[in-house]
Structure 1
Amino acid sequence: MQQPAVPELAHTQTRPIHWVLTATAVAAVVALSTVARPGSATAAQSATGTRTTTAAVAPGTTGVQFPLDCGPVKALVVKKAGADLDGDGRPETVAVVHCDAPMGTPPDGVYVLTRSADGRRPRVVATLVRPEDRLTVTDFAVRARTVSATLLGYSSDAVPSCCPDLRTPAAWQWNGSAFIRSTGSAHSV
């Protein structure tokens, strides 16, 4: 057997203590990253009256009273996205919401949120899809001031709620006074 040219290194074999130290270091980094977060950005007025270019933050959905009746269960935000939909420099949030029903497929509502006049609480300013229409929202996206989604619905009241039989692409854009919906042709699922 040939001897290696370099003498045995003391740390070439891992021992359990090495794994424990590595796991502890990784856990410390993860814990520190959850605590140390940057502050939220805000737009501020400068002394000369010009607006600074700090990015604004879209409103959150926590504590918002959505206009849907869920009875004893809570409203559940299943999807959301933020964007400046009306071009005023302040982003809005679009939220897909349904009742947190223990079974079945509850219909979705799609709502646009903005900050209240005092800037603290978000509020609903538009309803794009009403839960009363019995639609399920899929392929939800917000891009370039356009909200788009695929709406799954029913051709008649005789179709069971479990099994929507129509698929309709839809998009909404702000026209200066309201959200205008454009809809593609509905086709069977």
Structure 2
Amino acid sequence: MAGQDLLHTQPRPMHWLATATAISAVVAAASLLQPPDAKATTSPAAAAAGQPSAAAPDPDKVTFPVDCGPNRLDVVKKASGDLDGDGTTETVAVVRCHSGTGTPPSGVYVLAQPSDAEAAPRIVATLLAPARQRSVQTLTIKDGAISAALLGYSTLDVPRCCPDVHKSVKWQWKGGKFVQSELPAAMGTRGV
């Protein structure tokens, strides 16, 4: 009789199946339930695959090398992406002096975030200086390339309200620097 009392304690296939099912249910429930402050992080493998891993640098935290006199400086356009393939996100910012009339010239700058996330972003490249007297109409980033439609003036006699020169350009990281090229004429209405 003593041997029969222990029969119920010997594992059978049904016991193993029930145990495996219970453990699977606990693991599945744990993977679905996360604490409210849980954050997703990008693994080194994701960064190597070209997925940006850090937040985009904020142009509102940068002091740009533009003298606007008594007027404020406006960030009028911005776009972000991994421009140099290092797995970090850069921001391209278009800035110009505030003006109620006319079209003030734009500056186009590439910003990077230092390793200290609390530090202000820094300017790592000037793509277009305001001294070139161009305004940026559109700005996009696609596949690491920066594209922009630029407006300008053929002579000093052209009113500042009405740019008569249109040019589409692209900047792309090559050989450790940003290289500018002109996009086909179909992208812009008139070249410089």
Instruction: Give 4+ residue runs of structure 1 displaced > 4 Å after superposition.
Output: 37-44
Cα gap change, 1:53 to 1:123, in 2 (>3 Å): same
SS at match of 1:73: coil
SS at match of 1:78: strand
Partners in 2 of 1:92 and 1:106 — Cα distance?
A: 25
1:143 alignment partner AA:
K
Partner of 1:162: 161
Partner of 2:64: 66
Runs of 5+ consecutive residues of structure 1 not aligned to the other structure: 1-36, 45-50
| RMSD of aligned residue pairs (Cα, Å) | 2.6
Give the Å deviation of 1:52: 6.6
1:1-189 aligned at under 5 Å gives the runs 51=44, 53=46, 55-119=53-117, 120-184=119-183, 187=190
Partners in 2 of 1:94 and 1:141 — Cα distance?
A: 9
Partner of 1:33: none
TM-score by length of 2: 0.68
1:175 alignment partner AA:
K
Cα gap change, 1:126 to 1:39, in 2 (>3 Å): farther
Partners in 2 of 1:40 and 1:110 — Cα distance?
A: 33
TM-score by length of 1: 0.69
SS at match of 1:94: strand
Larger Rg: 2
Runs of 5+ consecutive residues of structure 2 not aligned to the other structure: 1-35, 48-52
**How many residue pairs get matched?**
147
2:132 alignment partner AA:
D
